[in-house]
Amino acid sequence: MEQNPENAAQGTPANPQNPAENPEAKVEKMFEYGYRKSNYGPDELVTDAHGNPISVVDAMLSPHAAAKAETVTPHLCYYSPRIPGNTGSAIRLCAVTGTILHLVEPLGFNLRDTKLRRAGLDYHDMAHVVLHPNFENLVESMPNSRIIAFTAHATKLYTDIEYRPTDILLFGPEPGNIPDPMDIMEGPHVAEQVRLPMRPSLRSLNLTNCASIAIYEAWRQLNFAGGE
């Protein structure tokens, strides 16, 4: 069957609803449920179950609520985190393990930073996050918790601890070439200092990689309660 020369010259009209033929539709298709819509403003990072933007603060736990919450894993604390991608990954880690993540200011980024969306954050993820204005606020709000500091200066391995759901696993700021704030990591509020083993003369692991190893070891000791 011969093709009409006029139709061949003009080609088939593009279908604006087909992502394969319309670049804008293709981009919009990428931002489905659980992710930030492409036309949202920079402060509209978190979405509810219907994909509608909500306040980051409204989605978070208060320190009082976090202290009263019953958990199946220890709490995780990032003191003054500086890389939004690491915190985004930690939020997802805590969501899937039932862990509460405490972020202690000052932060090195705004919680509305668009880089956090790479972790696919939504309301249910942020419901595991608490923001503290300073470290004293964390200690005062969790008086019955044992703080276990993860630091390269420790001699005890992280596997030498019997973890409890009320523990707080404390990690200092990244990147690794910045010294730990020793008033925080060695203060009187710290019950134990532990480290992850590494080959000598190599840089530290990524912050959230370390936190993942620690959380899953603690959860394993607690028989993966609440998991499946």
pLDDT at 110: 78
Per domain, the residue ranges of the chain are: 17-54, 56-221
Counts for the chain of helices (H) and strands (E), in that order: 9, 9
pLDDT at 182: 82
DSSP character at residue 1? -
Report the pLDDT averaged over residues 22-43: 46
- Give the angle 57-100-186 at the CA atoms, nearest 5°: 105
Which residues line the annotated binding site? Answer: 172, 196, 204
Q: How confident is the model at residue 193 (pLDDT cuts 50, 70, 90)?
A: very high
Higher pLDDT, 45 or 191: 191
- Give the angle 25-31-34 at the CA atoms, nearest 5°: 155
CATH architecture type of domain 56-221: 3-Layer(aba) Sandwich (3.40)
Question: pLDDT tens digit string along 153-165?
Answer: 899 999 999 999 9
Question: pLDDT tens digit string along 200-212?
Answer: 877 678 999 999 9
Burial class (CB in 10 A: 0-12, 13-18, 19+), 205: middle
Which residues line the annotated binding site for S-adenosyl-L-methionine? Answer: 172, 196, 204
